[in-house]
Amino acid sequence: MSWLAVWLIGAAVADLTHSVRPMRVVPGVVGAMFAIGAGLAAGLTGGADLVAVLALACCVVLWDALVRRGFGTGRVGPPLLLWGGVLVVLLLLAGKASRVGAAVETWHEGSPLPWVSSVDADLLLLGIGVLLAQLSTGNVLVRLVLTGTGTVNVAQGHDAGRTLKGGRLLGPMERLLIVGLGLAGQLTAAGLVIAAKGLLRWPEIQASRDSRDGPGVDELTEYFLLGSFVSWLWALGGLVLLAA
């Protein structure tokens, strides 16, 4: 799973950089550098490993470019297909990847933190990738799905995302909490978090009934439900990867 961890780290850093500095090329290059750095730090220096790491760095640059184009044109198929294709290929080739070593393994073995030293080094690197992916990458995928389904219709001036602004910050916090609770074996508590979000958001959605401007309650409800389910599935998908 070391190659998958490299991909998650690279794509996550690119998306985080884009959220801070939405510039051309720069986020993808930064993400690619982090992907290569993660691979070298993990000791992925064999022939097949180097080819895989360099290929993943190129995929990170392509991912960033396709995401920017998708947000601008509404063509979200290419970035979603790229993400899904890379994920499937990496899962199929997981057995070909070398085990994590070098600096990551040294840090893993010498760490005074029990939650670091008690897990396998491969799982530790994958866990870092999964946690990073819960941040901006989760938001990117949610936005791509919403745009692709026409739920966010900017052309008609009914962008529900402008009304529910807090979701850009609440989403990552919620996903991190779900993953953390899942890793701690508290899946019931994670379910309560999901239920609590619905209860807390509902008054805001209902308030749109009294507003004459912006999207109606049905549009906001669809936006909230679809965005939330994609976000939750992304967090649960990370847990499945770690469990596998």
Contact 208, 163 (CB under 8 A): yes
CA 142, CA 185: separation in Å to the nearest integer?
A: 26
Q: What is the pLDDT of residues 38-62, one digit of tens each?
A: 999 999 988 999 999 999 999 999 9
In the numeric block, which tokens belong to residue 204? 């805001």
* 178 pLDDT more than 60: yes
Burial class (CB in 10 A: 0-12, 13-18, 19+), 88: exposed
CB-based contact 242:123 (threshold 8 Å): yes
Confidence label for 211 from pLDDT (cuts 50, 70 and 90): low
Question: What distance in Å separates the CA atoms of residue 175 and residue 177, rounded to the nearest whole number?
Answer: 5
> Is residue 138 within 8 Å of 129, Cβ to Cβ?
no
Whether the predicted pLDDT of 157 surpasses 90: no
Quote the pLDDT of residue 44: 92
CA quadruple 146, 148, 151, 157: dihedral, nearest 10: 110
Cβ distance 18 to 67 under 8 Å? yes
Question: Whole-model pTM?
Answer: 0.84
Q: How far apart are CA 205 and CA 225, in angstroms?
A: 11
Distance between CA atoms of residues 190 and 44, nearest Å? 35
How far is Cα 129 from Cα 125, in angstroms, rounded to an integer?
A: 6
